[in-house]
Homo-oligomer: A and B are copies of this chain.
């Protein structure tokens, strides 16, 4: 069983109002030392199969379901392969 983490973030060109408001809230708490913030989501998948099959599954699942390519981009890493 392989554990794969898929990170989904907004493309650089996309303005993220959530990140903006969280950063403002952080500054209101007095933490001006926090200069920038980005927000993302991640999916941890437990996948059966050899490495090549797992990578293929991850790409298909990410590209057909988890990522909106109009505004998002993704990366993935293998966390654990047992």
Are A42 and B39 in contact (CB-based, < 8 A)?
Answer: yes
A46's partner among B22, B25, B37, B39 (CB-CB below 8 A) is B37
Are B43 and A39 in contact (CB-based, < 8 A)?
Answer: yes
Question: Is A52 part of the binding interface, using a Cβ–Cβ cutoff of 8 Å?
Answer: no
Can you identify 27 A-B contacts, CB atoms within 8 angstroms?
A1-B35, A22-B43, A22-B65, A22-B66, A25-B65, A29-B60, A29-B61, A29-B65, A31-B57, A33-B49, A33-B53, A33-B54, A33-B57, A34-B46, A34-B47, A34-B57, A34-B61, A35-B48, A36-B45, A36-B46, A38-B44, A39-B41, A39-B42, A39-B43, A39-B44, A40-B41, A42-B42
